[in-house]
Chain A
Amino acid sequence: MTMTVELQAPAVATPQTARAPWLTRLARPLLGLLLPLSLALAWELLVWAGWSNGRLVPPPSKVFTTIADLARSGELTRHIVTTLSRVGIGFGLGVAAGTLLGGICGYWRMARRLVDPTIQALRAIPSIAWVPLFILWLGIFETSKVALIAVGVFFPVYLGLTGAILSVDRKIVEVGRIFRLSGPAMIRRILLPAVLPAYVVSLRVGLGLGWMFVVAAEFMGASEGLGYLLIDGQQLGKPAQIVAAIVIFAIIGKATDWLLEIATAPLLRWQDSFARQSGAA
C-alpha cells in the first residue's frame, strides 16, 4: 500500500513542475509583492469609499501625487542628491578608516592588543550619542553629518575585516608558506582573496548603517535632504510627504545595496553560495 502511494507521488508532481518553469520563476518574486500590494489596494479602496478620511495615513495615490509634485518642482532631485552625497562621502570615509584599522589590527597582533580594546569600548557607545559632541566640534553643517555617518559605517567594516582576517584558515596559509610566499605576496595572494567574501558582507552592513545614520544626521538641523523632508512633513503636518520620503529611502537604499552587490559579484564568482545553489534549482 505504502509503496503505491510513494510511487505515485512523483508521477503527480512531475507534470506540475514541467508545465511552466518560466512561470514559476516569474511568479516567485511576485508572490512577495502580493501582501504589500493588496494591503495598499485595500487601504486605497477604504479611503476612496469614504470609510476613512486618510488624513493621517495617506492612501498610495496621494503618496504618489506627492512624489510626482516634488519631482516636477525639481525639489526631489535636490533632496536625493544631497542625501546621496552625504551617504557617499560618509560611507567612503568610514570604509577607508575601517579597512585601514581593521587590516592593521587583523594582521598585527601587537596593533590589535593596543588598539582593539579602545575601539570595542567606543563601539559600545550608541553612535547617536556622539551627535551633540559632533555638533559642538564640527558645527551643524555638513561636516558633523558626514562624521556621524562615517562612524556608523566604520564599526561593521572594522569588525568584519578583523574577524575575517583572524578566521582565515591556517591550512590555506600553510599552502602559502610551502610555496615560500613573502609577506606582501602572502597578503595579496592568500589573505586578500580569503577575506573578500566577509569583507563584502561587512561593506553591505556598513552601507545599511550609513542609510540609517543619514536620517539621524538630517534630523539634526538640515535644510535639505530626504531626512529634512521627513522632519518638514512632521512639522507642517504633511503625512503624505513623510511616507513619500520613506518610500524613496527604501528604493534608493535597496538600489545602492544592489549596486554594491553587482560591483562585487565578479570578485566572488568562485563562491559556492547557498543562494546560487537554490537559485539554480
Chain B
Amino acid sequence: MLQLTSVTKVYPNGVHALERFSAEIQLGEIIAIIGGSGCGKSTLLRAVAGLDRASAGTVTLDGETITAPHPKVGIIFQEPRLLPWLTVADNIGFGLSELPAAERRERVARALDRVGLADKAKVWPRELSGGQAQRVAIARALVAQPEVLLLDEPFSALDAFTRKDLQDHLLDLWADTRPTLVLVTHDVEEAVVLADRVLVMRPHPGRLFEEITINLSRPRDRNAPLFDQFKRHVLTALDRSLDRTVPDAQGRREPGGGLWW
C-alpha cells in the first residue's frame, strides 16, 4: 500500500507547490491525478519517486518511508529519456545490471516481445518513432517489476492515435502483474479510460479538490454513454477546481479526519 500523509512541498523560491496532500492507494489500483498547471501533480509524483524530498509529510510504501528512489517504484516520464548510446535492448536492461547476463537477456527479450518491439532490439533509440520510444521506456520501467509505477504525462507528447493505442497497451501490460499505477495527466479522457479513481487537484497551493471513483468495468468503451458521463463529471470538477469562487469542499480534510477523504 502506498500512503501519502500531509505531503507538503515548498520550493526555495517560496512557491507552495503542494499543501498537505494525503492519499491511500491500494496495491494494484490505478489512480489518475488531474488538474490545472501549478497544482503540484508533478511535484507529488517526484516525491513518491524519491527524486525530490517533500518539505513536510511522508510517503510510505508498505510502511517503508520513501526518501530516495526505491527499487519497488518505477517511473515513466513525459519524454522517453532513453540513453542514446545504448541499443533498445540495452536500454530496457539498464536497470537489471545486477542480474546474471543470461537472465537479463531473457527478461529483456520477454519485455521487448511484450511491447511488440522484438524486431527493434539492436536498433539505436534515434531510429524509433515517438510512440515506439515511449513503449521502450514503458518496457524499461516494467522489466524491473515495480510494485508502483508512476507515469508523468507519459503520452502527452504523442499524436492522438498513438496515444489511444498506448493507453490500451498500458492497461494490457498492467494486467500482467497488476502493479499500482499513479498517472499524472491533463487529458480527461485518458484519466477516465485508465483510472479506478481520479483525483482532481487545484492550484495555488496545489491540493486535492475532488475524488471521483470510476466504477466502469474494463475494457472501457470510449463511446459508451456512461463513459461520457464520467468524462463530463471529471471535466466539471476540473472547471470548478479552477474557479476561485468555489470553496475547497472535498479536499481540505485534516489528516486522521478520514483516511479515505
Contacts and interface: CB of A to CB of B under 8 A. Distances in A.
A and B found bound together = yes
Interface of A: 171-172, 174-175, 177-180, 185, 189-190, 193-194, 196, 270-272
Most A C-beta atoms less than 10 A away, residue of B79, B83, B86, B124 = B83
Contacts of B79: 171
B85 A177 contact: no
Interface stretch (B19-27, B70-78, B106-114, B203-211): B70-78
A270 B84 contact: yes
A272 B126 contact: yes
Interface centre among A175, A178, A190, A272 (most CB of B within 10 A): A178
Interface of A is mostly: helix
Given A171-B77, A270-B124, A270-B126, A177 B69 contact: yes
24 contacts: A171-B77, A172-B81, A172-B83, A175-B81, A175-B83, A175-B94, A178-B69, A178-B75, A178-B95, A179-B69, A179-B95, A179-B144, A180-B68, A180-B69, A189-B94, A189-B97, A190-B83, A193-B85, A196-B85, A270-B86, A270-B124, A272-B84, A272-B124, A272-B126
Nearest to B94: A179
A185 B97 CA distance: 10
A251 to B, nearest CB: 33
B49 interface: yes
Given A177-B51, A178-B69, A193 B83 contact: yes
Nearest to B68: A180
Instruction: Rank and list the top 9 A-B pairs by shortest CB-CB distance, nearest first.
Output: A179-B95, A193-B85, A272-B126, A270-B85, A270-B124, A178-B69, A175-B81, A180-B69, A171-B81
Chain B, interface size category, equals: 20 to 34
A193 B125 CA distance: 15
Interface in B96-131: 97, 124-126
Contacts of A178: 49, 51, 69, 74-75, 95
A174 B49 CA distance: 11
A179 B73 CA distance: 10
A180 B71 contact: yes
Contacts of B75: 178
A171 B125 CA distance: 16
Given A270-B86, A270-B126, 10 more contacts: A171-B77, A171-B81, A172-B81, A177-B51, A178-B51, A178-B69, A178-B75, A185-B97, A270-B84, A271-B84
Contact of A174 (B51, B74, B125): B51
A55 to B, nearest CB: 56
Contacts of B69: 177-180
A277 to B, nearest CB: 11
A193 B69 CA distance: 23
A172 to B, nearest CB: 6
A162 B124 CA distance: 27
A270 B127 CA distance: 10
A194 B86 CA distance: 11
Contacts of B86: 270
Which of B77, B84, B85, B94 gathers the greatest number of chain A CB atoms within 10 Å?
B85
A72 to B, nearest CB: 49
A175 B69 CA distance: 10
A172 B85 CA distance: 12
A78 to B, nearest CB: 43
Contacts of B74: 178
A6 to B, nearest CB: 29
A190 B81 CA distance: 12
A33 B221 CA distance: 67
B50 to A, nearest CB: 8
A174 B45 CA distance: 14
A172 B84 CA distance: 10
- Chain B CB within 10 Å — which of A180, A189, A270, A271 has the most? A270
Contacts of A172: 81, 83
The interface centre, meaning the residue of B75, B94, B144 with most chain A CB atoms within 10 A of its CB, is: B94
Nearest to A269: B124
A189 B91 CA distance: 11
A258 B21 CA distance: 59
Contacts of B85: 193-194, 196, 270
Contacts of A190: 83
Interface string B47-91: 001010000000000000000110100110101010111100000
A278 to B, nearest CB: 16
Contacts of A180: 68-69, 71
Given A180-B69, A272-B126, A174 B81 contact: yes
Contacts of B94: 175, 179, 189
Nearest to A267: B85
